[in-house]
Amino acid sequence: MPLIVPFLNDPSTTSTSSTIPNIMTDPSTAEEFAVLRQTLKSSLRQYPDFPQPGILFEDILPLFASPSLHAQLLRALEIHVTSTFPPSLTPPFAGVDVVIGLEARGFLFGPSLALKLGASFVPVRKAGKLPGETVKVTYQKEYGQDVFEMQKDAVKPGQRVLVVDDIIATGGTAAAAEDLVGQLGGEVVGFCFILELAFLKGRDKLKAPVFTLLSGQE
């Protein structure tokens, strides 16, 4: 009988809406994950007053500038997703069919994560970039308003979708993606972010469970 270890006693890994069962059966994987998080967190940069006064901008790009950090990021995300949605389980905790990445920074790691999970990758793009029939939604984010679009045949009814992005701030962007998936009859089984600005309470706007790898700006 494997030892069941609580995944992490950290508020950034739990959801207020519903809770993902963050358990891991292998203690050495839990330890590996904790070390990965520490390394990744210490590699982020912050820029005050960008892109406008009053915003403390969290820059995740150093994670991609170094091949080693890039690999560690993907390993951390893979550990999380496969321990939360093991392909061998039955719903609601079975695997993921589609990973959706949100423009633009969700495109940096969404496709690689999808490949690791054996899932499809689908982009959600800013308006006017996608050919063919699309669904659309207008949304508010931490610094402005935008329009998101997804191709109509990108998600099939009943498919299990994981939405990924670099940051959740006010949650407007992620909620817009959840809306688009719902319009196509897909099921968002979870959200996965690298970083969460917890004080903005963005996760409260989302119906599906939320996982964030790192916390920021308490």
Contacts with ligand ADE in 166-185 (CB under 6 A)?
167, 169
Contacts with ligand ADE in 58-87 (CB under 6 A)?
58
> In the complex with ligand PRP, which residue's Cβ is closer, 97 or 165?
165
**Binding partner selected for residue 209 from ligand PRP, ligand ADE, none, CB under the kind-specific 5 to 8 Å limit:** none
- Please say if 149 is a catalytic residue: no
Neighbour tally for 114: CB within 10 Å: 21
Question: Within 42-171, where are the H helices?
Answer: 62-65, 67-84, 110-117
- Please say if 105 is a catalytic residue: yes
Q: Which of 37, 58, 125, 142 is catalytic?
A: 142
Secondary structure letter of residue 94 according to DSSP: S
Instruction: Cis check for the bond before 175: say yes or no (omega within 30 of 0).
Output: no
CB 51 within 8 A of CB 141: no
Site string for ligand ADE, 188-207 (x = CB under 6 A): ---------x----------
Q: Which of 75, 103, 105, 187 is catalytic?
A: 105
- Reported as half-sphere exposure (CB side, CA atoms, 13 A), residue 51 has a value of 4
Q: Which of 147, 144, 181, 146 is nearest to 161 (CA)?
A: 181
> How many residues are there in the chain?
218
Q: Does 149 bind ligand ADE (CB under 6 A)?
A: no
Can you give the binding site for ligand PRP, defined by CB under 6 A?
102-105, 141-142, 146, 165-173, 202
Q: Does 107 bind ligand ADE (CB under 6 A)?
A: no
Q: Which residues bind to ligand ADE, rule: CB under 6 A? A: 55-58, 141-142, 167, 169, 197
